[in-house]
Amino acid sequence: MNKTDNDLSFNYAELDYEAMVQTAELAFSRLRDNVSSELGKLYPCGPLSPKETRNLKNAIDNLAREANFLVTVAETLQTLYGMQEREAVKIVNHPLDKEIYQD
């Protein structure tokens, strides 16, 4: 997808549902790969040198951060998929916090 149907006019905003889903799917895929990569760094063999200990700690910190992002993206993606069966959608944590109704 190169173009979306997002529209940000003077007093109106329209979000392209398919673009949101594709963006969340991409984020999920990349974060899942990042978590897998960081997990692979947690299995050194034998005693650890100070440098290896630092590297392991950094990998654990990165894993925790990426896993936290992955939880957020998975929840968001699940909600986007579930929106298809809902009559109304409310956007929260938005400065205007208004209910948005689908056509």
**For the purposes of burial, counting CB atoms within 10 Å of the CB of 34, is it exposed (0-12), middle (13-18) or buried (19 or more)?**
middle
Could you tell me if 18 and 80 are in contact, meaning their C-beta atoms sit under 8 angstroms apart?
Answer: no
- Residue of higher predicted confidence among 38 and 64: 64
Confidence grade of residue 76 (pLDDT, cut at 50, 70, 90) = very high
Average pLDDT, the chain: 86
| CA 74 to each of CA 4, 15, 59: distance values in angstroms, whole numbers, following the listed order | 22, 20, 22
The answer to whether residue 21 scores a pLDDT higher than 60 is yes
pLDDT score, position 44: 67
